[in-house]
Amino acid sequence: MTLQILAVDDSRTMRKMIQMTLENAGIETHLADDGVNGLTALEGLEPDAIITDINMPNLDGFGFIDAVRAQDKHRKTPILVLTTESAPELKAKARQAGATGWVVKPFDPDKLVRALNMIAG
């Protein structure tokens, strides 16, 4: 079974790195450039997991996680935060919003794939 992931990040470079990493691991990847577009992309998707950045324009990662968790069909979808932030209070805030895990950028491709397989498998 192929995993299907939605990755939301405002950095085009980061989206490309995530896409290359995941597709090289045989994971189907859908991309969005901010939380608003992430919510739009989710309308037609049932991803096995979601990756989101925190610092984004229009709708940040916390708002995006809140909005995803407010939808019945995505209430239990694993959400992995991928960000440059590492402050414990931000991790706690993400957990309270409903994030499943936290990976700090720059990410190790193998660790990211392993984390996704653990939470989405």
Token pair of 88, please? 């414990």
The values of phi and psi at residue 6, to 5°, are -105, 125
In the block, which residue shows the tokens 């990976």? 103
Burial call 27-37: b when 16+ CB within 10 Å, e when fewer: bebbbbbbbbb
Number of domains making up the chain: 1
pLDDT of 9 > 90? The answer is yes
Long-range CB contacts (< 8 A, 24+ apart) of 16-24?
17/107, 18/51, 18/82, 18/112, 21/107, 21/109, 21/112, 21/113, 22/112, 22/113, 22/116, 24/109
> What CATH code is carried by the domain that includes residue 73?
3.40.50.2300
Which residues constitute the domain of residue 112? 4-120
- For the stretch 45-94, pLDDT in tens is 999 999 999 999 999 999 999 999 999 999 999 999 999 988 999 999 99
Whether pTM > 0.75 for this model: the answer is yes
